Amino acid sequence: MAGFLLTSVAIPAAFTDTGLLFALGYLVLNGVHLIMFSRSDARAVVPRLASYNLGAALLIVLAAFVDAPATYALWLAAALVQAALPYLTPGHSWIRVASTFHVSAGHFVERHGLLVIIALGETVVAIGAGVDVRHVTAGTAGAIVMGLALPAAMWWTYFTDTRNAVASLTTATPSARTHLAARTYVLPHYLILLGIIATAAGIHAAVSHPGEPASIGAALALSGGVALFLTGVAGARLGLRLGLPLARPAGATAALATLPLGIGTVAGAQLAAAIGVLTVMPLAGPLRGEPHTATT
């Protein structure tokens, strides 16, 4: 918890003034995480896990001593080392011994669902942070409501698949279950969380100036964030072998198509269009999840 607290305090200026504080907190987190694994029945994983996790943490430490753009490059390298490299080198990473993990299907799905809920909750916080309370207009009020509707639609989209996720993991053999969990709840969920973060930035900008054209960055954050979120949701479905309804990739494409709307008209229009994409998307596929057809 001390490590988490240090990283959270350092986040606002982690790329500049508080980079070292964030790095030390993150190093503590990874160290404690590995120590806990070494005391579990999955201790055989620790040597294979340590090189990737500690390697990523040390790259973040190094980033604290350089300036941009090297800082950004090292952060990106750290993310790739921890999230992607194990899959590219399965013979040397924890992927090879993933069967030593014992995954409880219901708990595992619920735990990651709670993480998504927290991220979406922070998105709602971004609404309030973007409001100029001294000049609240009808347009601002409408943008606030839409700013709430978008993360609500994202919540509905994600949790539509929860029941079938539990069923897919439950019916798999123990060794297959860990591989399904690794494919589903690592890289796809990174994309989901990054998509939520980007969407929050887009919502913040849209609520701040709903009646003005969005900047390229703000419009891209909104449309790209929703598209990235849907890509992660699609990846999670593929990881669990639940199939991929056409509505998911079509929705991601439609979300990207809202980019020129925000730049060419007003930010509020793009926000409304993004909500429309996530609202119409379930109509093109099952609203409560398809019958379970996963294979193991």
Total domains in the fold of the chain: 2
Name the maximum alpha-carbon separation found in the chain. Answer: 60
| Burial (Cβ within 10 Å: 0-12, 13-18, ≥19) of residue 172 | buried
Domain boundary (66, 100, 134) is at: 100
Query: Among candidates 27, 6, 20, 30, which has minimal Cα distance to 62?
Result: 20
Domain boundary (100, 133, 168) is at: 100
- Its domain, for residue 207, covers 105-284
Domain boundary (100, 134, 153) is at: 100
Does some domain include residue 292?
Answer: no
Does some domain include residue 294?
Answer: no
Statement to judge: residues 91 and 114 lie in one domain: no
Statement to judge: residues 151 and 242 lie in one domain: yes
The structure's pTM equals 0.82
Statement to judge: residues 95 and 136 lie in one domain: no
Does some domain include residue 58?
Answer: yes
Statement to judge: residues 113 and 93 lie in one domain: no
Q: Write the CATH number for 279.
A: 1.20.1410
Please give the C-alpha separations between residue 174 and each of 43, 99, 109, 177, in angstroms, as whole numbers: 17, 7, 15, 5
Does some domain include residue 150?
Answer: yes
Per-residue pLDDT of the chain (296 residues; tens, 9 = 90+): 999 999 989 988 899 899 999 999 999 999 999 999 888 877 878 888 899 999 999 999 999 999 999 999 999 999 999 888 888 888 888 777 777 778 899 999 999 999 999 999 988 887 877 677 777 788 888 989 999 999 999 999 999 999 999 999 999 988 788 888 888 998 899 899 999 999 999 999 998 889 999 999 999 999 999 999 999 999 999 999 898 888 889 999 999 999 999 999 999 999 999 999 999 987 775 544 444 443 33
Statement to judge: residues 128 and 169 lie in one domain: yes
Does some domain include residue 35?
Answer: yes
97-135 burial, b at 16+ Cβ within 10 Å, e below that, comes to bbbebebebeebbeebbeebeebbeebeebbeebbeeee
Statement to judge: residues 25 and 166 lie in one domain: no
